Amino acid sequence: MVRYKGLKTLEILQWAHKYNRWISQQILPYCLSPLLELGSGTGNITQYLTQFQTVYASDIDTGLLLLLKKKFRHKKNIRVIRFDAEKKVTARFKSAFSSVVSVNVFEHLEDDQKAIKNVHYVLKKNGRLILLVPAKQFALTRLDRELGHFRRYEKKQLEITLKKEGFVLEKLYFFNFLGLLSWIVRDRIERKRTGLKRYQIFVFDNIVPFLALVEKFIKPPLGISLVAIARKSTKR
**Residue 115 covered by a domain:** yes
**Number of compact structural domains in the chain:** 1
What integer is the mean pLDDT of 204-233? 93
pLDDT at 144: 86
The whole-angstrom separation of Cα 165 and Cα 111 is 13
Using left for φ > 0, alpha for ψ between -120 and 50, and beta otherwise, residue 195 falls in: left
CATH number of the domain at 98, please: 3.40.50.150
pLDDT at 120 over 90: yes
Q: Which of 169, 153, 180 is nearest to 228 (CA)?
A: 169
What integer is the mean pLDDT of 189-193? 60
Contact 41, 75 (CB under 8 A): no
Q: Which of 113, 121, 225 is nearest to 178 (CA)?
A: 225
Among the ranges given (11-25, 64-78, 120-134), the one the predictor scored with the smallest mean pLDDT: 11-25
What integer is the mean pLDDT of 185-204? 68
pLDDT at 186 over 80: no
**Residue 24 covered by a domain:** yes
**Residue 197 covered by a domain:** yes
**Residue 90 covered by a domain:** yes
**Residue 2 covered by a domain:** no
pLDDT at 5: 52
Question: pTM for the full model?
Answer: 0.91
Domain encompassing residue 138: 7-232
**Residue 181 covered by a domain:** yes
Model confidence at 181, in pLDDT bands (50, 70, 90)? confident
